[in-house]
Amino acid sequence: GENGNPLIRWERGKGKKERIHFLFMRVSTNKRLLLLSAAVRDLPHFPAWLRTELVTNHAGEYGAVHIYRGARVGLNLRKTFLRGECACYEDALSFVDHHQQHEEEHLKVIEKLVPVGERTKLLPLWTIAATLTGFLPSILGARALYWTVASVEDFVEDHYTDQIQALLTQNAHVELRQLLGDLCAEEVQHKREAVESLLQPSHVCGATYRSPKTHISGNGAEAAECDGGEGGSFGKEKRVGHGKNA
């Protein structure tokens, strides 16, 4: 039903914007480098659970890069066979390039925190799976790609949130917590951009699909608050969606 459709909830929530404070604690490049340097120095003191979480972060960011690489291939292939979608193609390609740049930066950050010997041995398999995750929706059209990105980023947001909240509870590794908050903020922004693209009228892009207001359902379209900033707070209590609280 409509109440279970995250895109409808998102659209309705836009009318309440004055009552919702979206805080994306993104930091400057220099501040990110400083936080990363401090986190690397603190690396020997990371507990086992945190090192394991960072390994999953590395796999996730590695996969994200390959999702967008696969998406680019799919979009190019679709353009070759459907020449009438040039505007749609250019918008989607810009979306892919913009997000891939962020994900490559995220991967470089996490690589500094996860030594080569500690990374998952399943990366070759992960490469195939992630590439297909981007390629297959792109073959279907831009709207399928946007929906996939929104769904993936929803999972990533929850994953980072759990880690940051655990660090907040323990009042430990402040620089790493702030660094993860910065990365999370960009992931949430990616999800918002994907959802906003889905909420465009169906004739704008991918006209073979019904409007997402009636076609799309799932858990991937919420607005969240990510704060890894100086105050050290992080919350998701001001969300538009299924009400998952911190």
Q: Is residue 237 over pLDDT 80? A: no
Distance (Å) of CA 110 to CA 55, 95, 104, 119, 127: 9, 23, 10, 11, 17
Cβ of 182: how many Cβ atoms within 10 Å? 24
Q: Is residue 222 over pLDDT 50? A: no
Q: Provide the mean pLDDT of the chain.
A: 77
- Pairwise pLDDT comparison (10 vs 233), residue with the higher score: 10
Question: What's the whole-model pTM score?
Answer: 0.74
Q: Supply the pLDDT for residue 224.
A: 39
Rounded average pLDDT over 59-75: 97
Q: Are 78 and 85 in contact (CB under 8 A)?
A: yes
| CA 246/CA 227 separation, integer angstroms | 12
Q: Supply the pLDDT for residue 43.
A: 94
> Reduced to 3 states, what is the DSSP secondary structure of residue 62?
helix
Q: Supply the pLDDT for residue 20.
A: 27
| CA 16/CA 223 separation, integer angstroms | 12
Q: Supply the pLDDT for residue 205.
A: 52
Q: Is residue 110 over pLDDT 70? A: yes
The vertex-171 CA angle with 244 and 26, nearest 5°, equals 65
pLDDT tens track for 116-166:
999 999 999 999 999 999 999 999 989 999 999 999 999 999 999 999 999
Residue the block writes with tokens 């990616």? 190
| Beta carbons within 8 Å of 77's beta carbon, 6+ residues apart | 138, 139
Pull the structure tokens for residue 159. 């994953």
Among the listed residues 79, 83, 90, 22, the one whose alpha carbon sits nearest the alpha carbon of residue 227: 22
Q: Supply the pLDDT for residue 25.
A: 59
Q: Supply the pLDDT for residue 87.
A: 63
Q: Supply the pLDDT for residue 211.
A: 34
| CA 242/CA 222 separation, integer angstroms | 8
pLDDT band at 229 (very low <50, low <70, confident <90, very high): very low
pLDDT tens track for 75-103:
999 888 876 555 677 889 999 999 999 99
Q: Supply the pLDDT for residue 243.
A: 37
Rounded average pLDDT over 171-190: 92
Q: Is residue 4 over pLDDT 60? A: no
What letter would DSSP give residue 222?
-
